Amino acid sequence: MDNATNNSPERRVAEEELAQYKQIVESTPVCIKVFDSAGKLIFINKGGRDEHDIKDTDDIAKWDWVATVKPEYRPHVLEAFKKGLMGVSSRVVMEHTEEGSNHEWCEGIISPIKDESDKVTLLLFYSIDVTDREKAEAEIIKREQAMRQRNDELAEMNKILIGKDSEMAEIKRKKDEA
């Protein structure tokens, strides 16, 4: 490639656009990871490094990202990852280990990136903190269960009281007949 091509207006525009995209990706608090088609992590943005306490000098290729997810959620995450490798986007909610992330819960989307021949070459995996939402939903479920239990208790008390009313009515009827 000659110097004229390196300094072409099209190349400068492409480089400026690339710099803008990089600035956007690095400034978002969303965790953005890119994996190659073999499943090797090749990029994690600043938001992801901050979330997972990864230093800029750490070797991300050696980072065990699956270990940041609690064991009971790992199969779901790996299934979504496999779907991505098959060319299907998917969404997954995961709970992180305490030492794996400063977000307790995340919702991730895994999207395949394909080349011109429709072959998956990369996976884009981005996730957001949904801890507040998950805690609120858990609290709602807890309250609904408590209300159901209280309703069951009241229904049982109601049966007892109706039974007592029936007994009292029968006693009164027998007394009136006597």
Strand ranges (DSSP E) for the chain? 31-36, 41-44, 90-95, 105-114, 120-129
Bridge partners of 41?
35
Q: What is the pLDDT of residues 39-81, one digit of tens each?
A: 889 999 999 999 998 888 888 888 888 899 999 999 999 999 9
Q: What pTM was estimated for this model as a whole?
A: 0.70
CATH architecture of 28-129: 2-Layer Sandwich (3.30)
**Nearest one of 48, 124, 36 to 80, comparing CA atoms:** 124
Cα–Cα distance for residue pair 156/160, rounded to 1 Å: 6
pLDDT digits (tens, 9 = 90+) for 123-157: 999 999 998 888 888 888 888 998 999 888 888 87
Helices (H), 28-130: 46-51, 74-85
CA Rg value for the chain = 29
